[in-house]
Amino acid sequence: NLAAWHQGVRDQFPIVTGHPELAYLDSAATAQKPRAVLDAVHTYLTTANANAGRGTYPWANRTTALVERTRRRVKEFLGDPDLDPDPAPAPAPGRSAVHFVGGTTEGLRTVARDWLTTHLTDGDEILVPYADHQANLLPWLEAQRLLAERGVGVRVRGLPYQAESGDYDHRALAGAVGPRTRFVAATHVHHVYGGDMNVHRIRAAVGPEVPICLDAAQSVGHLPVSVAELDVDFVVFSGHKALALPGTGAVWARNDPARGPEFRPGGWQGTPNTAGIASLEAALDWLDTAGTDRIARWGTALAARLTDGLRHLAPYEILGCQASLAAGSPVQRRHGIVTFRHRDIPSDDLGFILFGHGFMVRADSLCQAGADETDPKRGSVRVSVHAYTTVEEIDRLLSVLTSLA
């Protein structure tokens, strides 16, 4: 049963069990680490730390093997059927690729600079999400600018968006796609609304040929993510949100020869974040053992509990579900993220009040371009959970929020 599973899981996170007076509800910003991840980093740094690449001694060879093994592990974790044998051969044309980066922001910039700018020609169009995390907007605008400097004019169009449901406006999507649409950037799970953005409907609208790059910062580590099912060309995620160390992340690329140039940046030119990669390997092992399906069920159940408690408290506005709230219908599934604001209490004040009760939440504009055009000072409060979050923490939060209503 899920409750017993959760208790066994929570006990593996020393930082949360060590601070029972605090409730960490900011896992969408970064996740806490299980002991297995901390141990893997310690073991690596005390038994094998060396640089990766062409080593001539055992520690260097072990570090090289760690990096290659984790590359394959990322593919496996993402359900990529194109697994390399171990040890991996040199990258081959048409094979999928995994490139380690410092996080989603760097990963999306790498796709924009190293791939998109070599892929477009004058008059092409790209579709990008204006209402998602800015990390998934600014790199595409930068690519447009870099191309313009080379005399290549690219039109950037916004992915149609529906604030009332917190999803893309999939009905309007067909109108935004044209014969020159060459690329779409989308998000898997929204970092403010917590809903699944239904990328399969984007695939249906753009057809099988157009490359789609998916910002999976809020889905990898929270729910099963399968590149085979998603039918996308790039998946970018942050290791630190998936229980690994800060400064880790990866870009997975399908590298279908029909879709333009191969994505193979990097190589061994620099020193990779080897301790971070060791943490990522341990984190992915931990997630598979705990079960991403169970983690997803836990996260959606806690989010539903919070939403159900909040929707009847008049001063609170829950973001991205106005349509279902107005209709009195159930709110769409939230993957462990609920964002709201209080009618009278500014969000940063609410954040301080909540911390006075031991709750660590995010309270500001949440890196979303144009999120608070009506009143930039109001912001919002985001509560985000992970496998270690308890039902009791959510209930305690609800009782504090109720006392402020």
The verdict on 221 binding ligand PMP (CB under 6 A) reads no
CA atoms within 13 A on the CB side of 238: 20
Question: Whose structure tokens read 């053992």?
Answer: 289
Q: How many CB atoms lie within 10 A of CB 317?
A: 17
In terms of CB distance, is 187 or 292 closer to ligand PMP? 187
The verdict on 324 binding ligand PMP (CB under 6 A) reads no
In terms of CB distance, is 105 or 274 closer to ligand PMP? 105
88-127 positions binding ligand PMP, by CB under 6 A: 103-105
Minimum CB separation of residue 154 from ligand PMP in Å reads: 22
Minimum CB separation of residue 192 from ligand PMP in Å reads: 9
User: What radius of gyration, in Å, describes the C-alpha atoms of the chain?
Assistant: 22
Strand order in the sheet with 337-342: 316-318, 337-342, 380-384, 362-364
* DSSP assignment of 235-291: EEEEGGGGTS-TT-EEEEE---GGGSS-----SSSS---HHHHHHHHHHHHHHHHH-
370: left (phi over 0), alpha (psi -120 to 50) or beta: left
Q: What are phi and psi of 273, to 5 degrees?
A: -80, 80
Minimum CB separation of residue 377 from ligand PMP in Å reads: 21
Of 305, 112, 297, 335, the closest CA to residue 216 belongs to 335
In terms of CB distance, is 6 or 190 closer to ligand PMP? 190
Q: What ranges make up the beta strands (E) of 21-81?
A: 23-24
Helix-strand-coil split of the chain, %, nearest 5 = 40, 15, 45
Q: Which of 63, 96, 136, 339 binds ligand PMP (CB under 6 A)?
A: 136
Angle subtended at Cα 161 by Cα 158 and Cα 167, rounded to the nearest 5 degrees? 135
Q: What are phi and psi of 169, to 5 degrees?
A: -85, 85
**Stretch of residues binding ligand PMP (CB under 6 A), selected from 72-80, 214-222, 324-332, 339-347:** 214-222
Minimum CB separation of residue 389 from ligand PMP in Å reads: 17
Q: What's the length of the chain?
A: 405
CB of 116 closer than 8 Å to CB of 110: no
Q: Which of 32, 165, 181, 187 binds ligand PMP (CB under 6 A)?
A: 187
**Stretch of residues binding ligand PMP (CB under 6 A), selected from 41-49, 130-138, 259-267, 344-352:** 130-138
Minimum CB separation of residue 235 from ligand PMP in Å reads: 12
Size of the site for ligand PMP (CB under 6 A): 14
13-32 positions binding ligand PMP, by CB under 6 A: 28-29
227-246 positions binding ligand PMP, by CB under 6 A: 238
**Stretch of residues binding ligand PMP (CB under 6 A), selected from 132-140, 155-163, 199-207, 333-341:** 132-140
The verdict on 218 binding ligand PMP (CB under 6 A) reads yes
Minimum CB separation of residue 218 from ligand PMP in Å reads: 5
Q: Which of 98, 217, 283, 319 binds ligand PMP (CB under 6 A)?
A: 217
Minimum CB separation of residue 340 from ligand PMP in Å reads: 17
Q: Which of 196, 215, 233, 281 binds ligand PMP (CB under 6 A)?
A: 215
Report the interface residues with ligand PMP, using CB under 6 A.
Answer: 28-29, 103-105, 133, 135-136, 187, 191, 215, 217-218, 238
